[in-house]
Structures are given as structure tokens and as C-alpha cells.
Chains A and B, each alone.
Chain A
Amino acid sequence: MKDKQLKIILKKNMWLIALYLIGGLSISMFAFFEARYSANLIASVASDTTQTIVHLLIMCTIFGLLVCVMNIMSNTVLQYLLSKVKYQYSTYLIEHSRKLKTDTIEASSSSAITNRMITYPIQAMGWISSFVIYANNIIYHTAICIYIFCINWMFGLYMFAFFAVAITVLVLTRKKMVKYGNIARNARTYYSAINNEAINSQRDMKALNCDGYLLEKINSTHEVMDIADYKNAIYRNNVLGGNNYVWQTYMGLIPIVMSVLIGEYGLAIASAIFLTNYGAYARNLGNEIMIVTDNYLAAKVDLNSIDEFMDEKEFAVDTYGDVEIERLRGDIEFRNVSFDYVYKYYNDAIKTDYETLYAQEFGKKSTLYDLYADDSEKEVIHKTVFKDLSFKIEAGQTVAFVGQSGSGKTTILNLIAKFSQCKSGQVLLDGVDINELSKNTLRNNICMVSQNTYIFNGTIKDNLLMVKPDATDEEIEDVCQKAYMQEFIDGLDKGIDTVVGENGIKLSGGQKQRLAIARAFLRDSAIVIFDESTSALDNEAQSCVQKSISQMRDRTVIIVAHRLSTIINADCIYYLQEGQITNKGTFDELMESDESFKELFLAENV
């Protein structure tokens, strides 16, 4: 556990932990006394007066009751503690997730991140809670075992010998058990992933009639998973079965040991009964230690995943400067900016290695390298998108970037919005390096509408109010008008209060885009970026939205669009080819001076 936060949270709840520990210790103590009195009770039944017996029975019951009462109290405290820690830890992790770099999030699956911020901490808490509950029992059972030693050291030694054997077996096999467990776990992750793919792609799967292909893929994946599970189960069975042998032998031998102790060493019968009864606790202790280590390891796996999450190298976070500007004018400048794409792959050597390893383990070929391979074994490849790019956009201008796909348009937009970090050079907003600007300056002044914007589950109105919680109805109506939404809102059963579903699944592509545009209008920031944000609109809607965009005053507007007719009115058009600005100017200027641009435009209108 490298991350300090859990420790800090635990420290914050110190008094609750202390309270729980006191409770736990007193339970162990009471339980121990209950056991002692019940031992005495058994011994006294044969010889003592009824009064003594009843006295002992009462003492025994009282301690039993105390255990019950303390159990209620300490468990309640534990639950309270856990729910507090759970809340504080998850809150912290979620807050952290908000800081992650955009490209980091895009490079891993959304469920991988969500699991790390929600599922794993909660799971870890579960493990920890059962860990402490068993730890309590361990204290109590250890006390009894020590007591047994005091009563008869020979039986104590007998007990200890078996205990040592069982624990040694576990310690020796632990590592391999964990390894097999991890393989099974990874295989399950794979299975989930392929299932999710089938579910998410179902439209295309049907349209392409390739369900057979996917099904085969699913089947081969679950085959691997099942075999991994099977191997894991068999290995566990061997280890735990061996452990079971040890304890069964131990239990089975007790009467023989007793007969020897009574016959040869004159052990008192009452003591013999006590030892027989409580000798079993050694087995319990052994099992509990096993469970506790199991829980500890499981918790560690979860906490490690969280550590990864907190690790700057694996999940990089955004960093911001502290220059605070309430309202940017909207000047944008690129100074010698270079940018690389970074790919990570398993190279062929690693692939072959793992294929062989896999074939040995499972007796068949598979391409599931991730079952063994680590991320760090991937080869890193850089690909230059652009080098030394410089340009300047004046505040208040409407600017368009035009070029073929792959020419770097979206990268430029990502750099302006600081969704990506440039390799070298500077991006300046209002003359200030973008890295020096504070988060609020950046996020409040730049708004980007992308082609495939995320729409939140809730009503249309919710999606709008989200951006500006105090927006009046008139403002909302106004932006709906501007984004040409009124047309389809009127057609909906509940109008603006219609629930749109997860990622706006109930809206068409064009409708989603218009909702996203309306959000941008409502936000009204100094720099507005439209990245192919009207691609799914029909011409009429498109021209209406276009008009609204061109009416935005005192805003720097940046547009990327393939449909060149949408950018005719731009103040300046940058024409990008292979990561270089080859030309710039107004539409008419470019049409005149740049053959290639002209061709590009004419291609649209044939």
C-alpha cells in the first residue's frame, strides 16, 4: 500500500478504531473466561457440590452473555467505522478520478477505472472487515491454546507440532496459490471484456452477420477461463486437502494421545476432558490464520489496483498552474509545438514467449497474453503528429481548421483544451503558458463540443441545467432555439422533460449533437470549440446552428468540420496537411490561392 490516503482516513477515525479494538479485546477476554469456567464446570460436575456447580454455570453464562452484548456493540461500531471509511475513501478516489488526464482515461476501459474507484475500495473494506473479525477469534483461540500448554505441556507440544506442520504447508504453497488465483482472475476479466464487446457492438454484429465469429471468440475465451478456474480449484484442493489431512489426523489422534497420557502419565480425567474439548481450537486457529491471510491477500490485490490508480505513471493526472484569470480574452498561440502519439504493444518476441508458456500451462494455443504479460513488457512506439507548429489566433475571431483526417486537427483542439500535453513547445492563452493557468481559468473559459458528445442520463433540461444550474427558463428556451432543438423537443412526449437514457440512447445522433451544442451556448465561455459537432445534422438544422454560431460575439470560436460549407464564413481558415499549416486565409482567399484547398471544397459539391 503506497497510497497514504487510506492511512490518513484510518487515522481520522482513530477513536472509532480504538473503541472497536477495546471491544474486540474484551470479547476475546470474556470468551476466554467463558471457556475456562466451562472447563471448570465440567471438572467439578463429577466431584463438587451442587452449589459450586451452579455457581460455575452462572459464571459461565454471565461471560457468555457479556460476549453477546459486546458482540453487538463492537460489530455496530465496526459497521459504523466501515461505512465512514468506505465513504471517505471512495470520495477521495472519485475526486482523484476527476483529475485524471483525458488521454489516460481514453487509454483504459471505463470499467477498469470505475472498478478502481468504486468496486475495489468497497471490496477491500469487506476483506478488511472479515479480517478484523477473524483476528479477534485468533486472539481468543491463541489464549486458549496457551492455556492448554499450561495445563499439560505434553499435549501442548503435540498440538504445536501439528500446528507448525499445517502452517508450513500453507506458507510454502501460498505463492503458487496466489499465482493460479491471479490467472483465473485475469481470465475472468477477459471473459467480461469480450462479453461486453458483444453487447456493445450488437448493432454492427447483426448488421455484418458476424455473430458466429463473436460467439466462437466468446466460447474460446470462456473455455480458457474455465480451464484456469479448474486449474486453480485443483491446486487449491491439493493444498487445502493436504491441510485437511493434517488436521483430521490431529483430531483423530487425540483419543489415542489421551489414552497414553492417562495410562502412562496419570493425567486427571477432568483435565483430559478439557484437553479433548479445547484441543480442537488449535484446528480452528489454523483455519483462521489461513482465512485471515487469504483475506489479507485479497485485500492487498484490491488495494494494489487502487495504488495503480493513484500512481502517476499508470494513471497520469492533470496538473494546473495558479495564474487566475476570471475571463480570458481568447487569444490563442502555438509556439513551436510538437506532438507524438504513443502506442504500446506486445512485440512478437513476447507474444511467442507467452504463447509457449500458455501452451505448456493449458495445452492449447491462445492469444490471451494479458493472462501472464505485464503492461511494462509492452513495447513503446512513438509517431509524430506534428513538429514545430506555430500559429496565432486573435481574440474574438472565428477560426476553422481544415484538412484530411489524420492531419492533426483534433490534436490541436485537444492541446488548446489541455486534454493532451505537447511534447515540446508552448501553447499560450492570452499570452500565458497554458500550463500556468489555473484549472478554473481553463475550464470556465474553454468549452468544447465534440462529434460524439456524452449525454448524461436524465432529462434534456437536466443536461442543460447541469452546465448552469441557475439558468432561467427563458435562457434555456433561447439556447434550444439557437441549437435548433425546438423542432424535435416539440415532437417528444414530455418535451424538454423527456428522459434521454444512458449516453442519450433515446436520441438520434443529430439530436444528441444539438443538445451538446445547446449546452455550449448556455455555457457561453470565452473560447468555444466545435469539433465536427454538426456532422450528423441535416442541412437545414446545420445552417440554423451555423447562424447561431456566427452570431456569437466577442468569443473565440474554433471549428473543425469536414463539410466545408459550414466554415465559409470563418474569419480565418487554417489548411493543414500532414501536421503542417500549409496555408491560411479567408475562404475566398484560399479558394483563389490554394489549388489543393479548392479541390477539397469542390470535391464536396461535385
Chain B
Amino acid sequence: MKNNKDKSATNKGINILKIIWQKPLLTILWLLCVVIDVTLTIVIIMLDAKALEALTLGDYQSLLKYGIYLIVFALIMATKRILQNLLDAKIRLHTFGIVESKIGERMVKITNEVYESLSAGSISSRVDHSPRQLYNAIIMLVQIVSQLIYHSFVVIYMMCLNYIIGLILLGIIIVVLVFRLCINSKSEKLMRVANDDFDKMYGRALETVRGHKDIKCLNLDNEITKDMNKHISKYAKSQRKSENWWIVVDGLFDIVLAVMLAGLMYYGIILYEQYYITYFALIYMLNNYKQVDAVAYDLLQLFTGKNRASVHGRRINQLFNDELMPIETFGTQHLQNFSGQLEFKNVSFVYNDLDLKNRLKADMDKGKHKKKKSKQVEQENNDKTPPKKVLDNFSLKINAGEKVAFVGKSGCGKSTLVSLLSRSLVQSEGQILLDGVEIGELDKESIRGNITVVNQFPYIYYLSLKENLRMVKPDATDEEIANACQKACLTEFITELPYGMDTLLGEDGVKLSGGQKQRVAIARAFLRDTQVVVFDESTSSLDNFAQKRVQESIDSIKGKTVIIVAHRLSTILNCDRIVFIKNGKVEAQGKFKELMKNCPDFAELYTVRR
């Protein structure tokens, strides 16, 4: 039963069925429970009816007999339930462990572009929220199925008592179900609107919290509050609308159903008066005719539950869909003893607008209206004008052990070059060669293990300072760590921390200033000590002294290729070569003085004005 329901989650990424089957004993026991459940349900319904029959006949001795049977089976049922819940919990423990690991593994591999075209929330909800929802939906389905079995056997028993009434009951079930399915589709639509409104509202609220400082600075309180209120009111309304639709329409239908069933019971009474059915049969029907409603309701729940499970299954699938959320791919060749020689050969790069939000949405709708949506999306894509080239036929060779600076106005493509080098982005055309080997053919270790990038706004984890450093080199000795801190000009800062190296940083911990964060990131780079180090504006927030000391450390790096992207003159002055980039191309290169002389654009950038 459960296994059938799991189909929705079956896909190339995660096959829950297979994962569950890794524990065959648990699964078999679980299935056994299901078999016991079905058998006992039937037995108990029969006994219940027999007991009722004995009761109506006043035969209290048989009543006692059936009563004893019943109590025995009831206790078996209760025991079975405990066992089954235990198995459920065990299966969940096993399954979730694997599912979460797989999702985590996938998550860290997804490409940069995906992350940047989606809000963090839409990925984290898939990672965090959907598996739980999927599980809840499955549990709900299992419960519904067992209820359904119970309710349907009661109805079947009524059919056995009198086939005409039985047929009428069946007819009513079908009518009720069809009707409910009809109103359900509209209800789901309304619910989706409400959910969208909630997401929008939540996103907005999150934004107001993140931007709180600027809201205060700019005194935007009133505008923000007005805007927020608009969103809340919209959500509250759409939520109410979706609830009300079900309440009113289904409520009205309940009235019709009540009248129909009353008619049916009237018919039953007539049958009894004319001795077509026994007193017991009539009582049984009077007692249980409402189960018809329950059967129809269970069936509907089964349907909606399956939908919900498949929605969340699909959301998880999207994480594993290479077209929607591609993961980074690497080659297989391994570089032994990488020297640090780099070359860009006619590299071009265009940011393609992934338009992921719409594509994910279209993918969610695919199950229902397959062709319509995907066509629309294609059209939209065709309408777009080709985006601007960030890099255009860029060629540059960097020798092993050379110190090179990339200089240019913001937006000229410097950071893109850096991303290409660490293969956070993949070039649209051309080649990037590491020791003469195209970057696409190299394995991950050869690229990421040999190239370190220090960003301008580095991320500091909610870990201790030591762990923040050690994460890049788990086997680093304390000495190595101290040394890296020394080079990154962190030592003084550490002595000021309440717990020194063990002080917790980041969210909830010590808030670091921009400059302190940058120094932690630089210390990480020194600790990693890779063949190529890229400093992408990584000292922009340092004061001149710290900057100077860090610069000295950088200058003292020997035998490694160092690339520096910076605006500040002092940072780049000591480089072997300065590459001036303009409009995605190398405009000029050489020593600082040469450039000041030969390249007017460069000179303009570095003429101090008063």
C-alpha cells in the first residue's frame, strides 16, 4: 500500500522504493502488518455485525460469545498498531537518512548560475521542506487507505444485506466522488493562489528584515508597512476564499446528500415493513449509512493526498533534474604537480538568463497541461534579445609563479574571469588551459584543489574561528593555522576575542566587520596554500596598515601564481604584470609605469585628483 504511494517519488535521482527495500526485513514486516490490518478489519466488521444481530434478537449468550471474540481481535489490532508505528518510525529513520544525504550531496554540486537565478528560499524549501511534506503526505495516504478499507467493507457488508440498497449506495458514492473531484480542482487552484500569495508575503517580509538598517536610514517605515499590509491582506483574502469555496460548495452538497440518504432510509424502512429485510439489517443500515459519505471522502483524500505527494516529489525531483538545476560537471583528467600556468584562449562569456523561476513553475504544471506551458516558455525565450557579451575573445597567458593584477572599471568582466578560472562559471566559447589542459577535461580536485579564490564579501560560517579556517584543510596543525592568521594580520584580532580561536563567529556569534571577514577569508587562502591564488577585491575593506601587512604576505608568496583584482593602487603596484581590461578584452598590459605612459584610459583611472 505504502509502496504504491511512493511511486510519485520515484525518479532518476531518488527512488524511495529502492531505499526502503534496502531493509527487506522491515519492509516485509510492514507489509505483514498491512495484511493483518486488512484481514482483521474484515473479521472485526463481520463480528461487529454478528454481535449486533445477536443483540437485536435479544440473544445475549451469542452476544457474549461474539463479544469475547471481538475483545481478542481488538487487542491484536491495538498491538499491531504499535508494531506498525514502530516499523514506520524505523523505516522513516532509514529512508530519511539516505534521502537527506542524497539531497545534501546534490545541493552542494548545483551550479552557481542556478543559485544566482533563484532566491535562497526556493532552493532551501526543496531541500528542507519538501521531503518532510512528502513524508507527511505518504503517512496521510497510508492512514486514509486503512480507513478506506474499513469504510468500504462496511458498505460492502450493507450490499450483502440487500443488493438493491447496495446498488443505490454504490451510485451515491460515485455521484459524491465525481462531484467532489470537480470542486476539488477549483479548490486546489484557489489554494495555489493562496500559497503563492503567502510566498510573496513571506519573501517581502524577509526582505524588510534583511534591509532593516536601510529602511531606518531612509525612513521608509510607512511605505514598507503599507506595502506589507497590502500583501498580508491579499494573502488573508485569498486564503479565506480558498477555504470558503470548499465550505460553501461542499456544505451545500452535504444537504443534498443528507436528503438522498434520508430517502434511501425511508426505502429501507418500507422494505423492512414488507419483510424484505430483517430488523437487524435495517438497524445495521441505519447505523452505518453515513459510511457512504466516508468512503467518498476517503477516495477524495486519497486523490488529493496523492497529488500533494507528487507535488513534493516533483519539487525534490527538480533538484535532481539536470536540465532545470544542472550540477557542475568536471572532466576525468587529473593534473599531477600543477605548475600554476594558466591560459585564456579566445574566451567569450555571455550570461544566459536561466529564467529558472518560470521554468520550474512550468515543470510543476507539466503533469497537467503538458504542451501549452512549455510552448509559452519557449516563445518567451525566443523573444529575448541576445544578452551582452561580458567577455569577448579574451586571450591571456599567465606563467607559473607570476603575480598578475586584473584592473578595469567595475563591470568590465574581471570577476567573471575569476569565476571562469575556478569553474564556478563555464565559458561560452574558447578555452581555458591549466598547464595546457582544457579546464573542462580536468577533474574537480585538479581545479578546485589547486585554485583558491578569495571574494570581496566572503562567507563566514556559524562556527568557531578555528573551524572556519580548518574547514579548508581538516588536517591542519595548530601551528599552520596560527601561521596563516599571522600572515592575514588576524593575530591581534584573535587576542581580543573572548575565547580566542574558539570563539563562535557569524550569525548569533561575534559579528565581524567587513575587514575582519576579509582577513579570515585571506587566512583560509594562506592555509590552503594552493598553486594558484586569486584575490578578488579581497582587501578592499582593510585599513591601510592591515592592507600593507597582508600585501607583504601576499608579496612574499613564492612559486605560486597569484592573481589580484583590485582598485587600490598599492595592492597592485608590486605585481609582475598589470592587465588592463576594458569591455571584456585586454586593452593593455605591462608594468604600472609603462601603462601610465602608454595607456591613457589606465592613466586616467590612476591619476589622483584633488
Contact = CB atoms under 8 A, between A and B. Distances in A.
Contacts of A94: 205, 208, 225, 228-229, 232
Given A72-B247, A80-B240, A204 B459 contact: yes
A198 interface: yes
Contacts of A337: none
Contacts of B511: 106-107
Interface in A194-220: 195-211, 213-215, 218-219
B74 interface: yes
Given A226-B97, A241-B78, A536-B410, A206 B218 contact: no
Nearest to B601: A540
A565 B608 contact: yes
A251 B237 contact: no
B576 to A, nearest CB: 16
Contact of A603 (B89, B119, B498, B544): B544
Interface in A217-231: 218-219, 222-223, 226-227, 229-230
A50 to B, nearest CB: 6
Given A42-B286, A493-B385, A488 B411 contact: yes
Mostly helix, strand, loop or mixed at chain B's interface?
helix
B4 interface: no
A565 B195 CA distance: 52
Given A53-B269, A61-B258, A535-B541, A193 B462 contact: yes
Contacts of A606: 569-570, 573-574
A87 B496 contact: no
A256 B47 CA distance: 13
Contacts of B445: 209
Interface in A554-606: 562-565, 568-569, 599-601, 603-606
Mostly helix, strand, loop or mixed at chain A's interface?
helix
Interface stretch (A141-149, A288-296, A474-482, A506-514): A506-514
Given A532-B541, A535-B541, A87 B232 contact: yes
Nearest to B519: A405
Contacts of B420: none
A160 to B, nearest CB: 19
Contact of B128 (A192, A214, A255): A192
Interface residues of A, number: 171
A269 B55 contact: yes
A213 B93 contact: no
B247 A76 contact: yes
B66 A68 contact: no
A241 B82 contact: yes
B255 A469 contact: no
B258 A68 contact: yes
Nearest to A86: B236
Interface in B102-121: 104-105, 107-110, 112, 115-116, 119-120
Given A45-B283, A206-B448, A467-B218, A508 B410 contact: yes
Given A50-B273, A523-B218, A114 B225 contact: no
Nearest to B104: A218
B255 A69 contact: yes
A254 interface: yes
Contacts of A336: none
B398 interface: no
A241 B81 contact: yes
A57 B411 CA distance: 81
A478 B586 CA distance: 33
Interface in A529-559: 532, 535-543
Given A213-B474, A405-B516, A537-B410, A118 B521 contact: no
Interface string A369-411: 0000000000001010000000000000000000111100010
A417 interface: yes
B218 A539 contact: no
B594 interface: no
A338 interface: no
B233 interface: yes
A277 interface: yes
A110 B210 contact: yes
B521 to A, nearest CB: 7
Contacts of A405: 513, 515-516, 541-543, 546
A100 B212 contact: yes
B296 interface: no
Contacts of A97: 208-209
Given A97-B209, A233-B89, A448-B217, A50 B544 contact: no
Contacts of B365: none
Interface string A65-100: 100110110011001101110110011001101101
B252 interface: yes
A26 interface: no
Contact of A211 (B89, B108, B220, B452): B108
A153 interface: no
A118 B235 CA distance: 11
A586 to B, nearest CB: 12
A205 B461 CA distance: 10
Interface string A339-371: 000010100000000000000000000000000
Given A240-B85, A260-B64, 16 more contacts: A42-B287, A50-B273, A72-B252, A107-B508, A114-B209, A195-B104, A198-B104, A199-B115, A209-B445, A233-B89, A255-B55, A256-B71, A273-B283, A443-B216, A488-B411, A541-B409
16 contacts: A68-B251, A76-B244, A79-B244, A86-B232, A95-B225, A113-B209, A195-B127, A198-B107, A199-B107, A207-B453, A244-B82, A277-B287, A466-B218, A535-B514, A540-B409, A568-B610
Report the 9 A-B pairs with minimum CB-CB distance, sorted nearest first: A255-B67, A510-B410, A454-B211, A252-B74, A252-B71, A72-B251, A256-B67, A201-B459, A443-B219
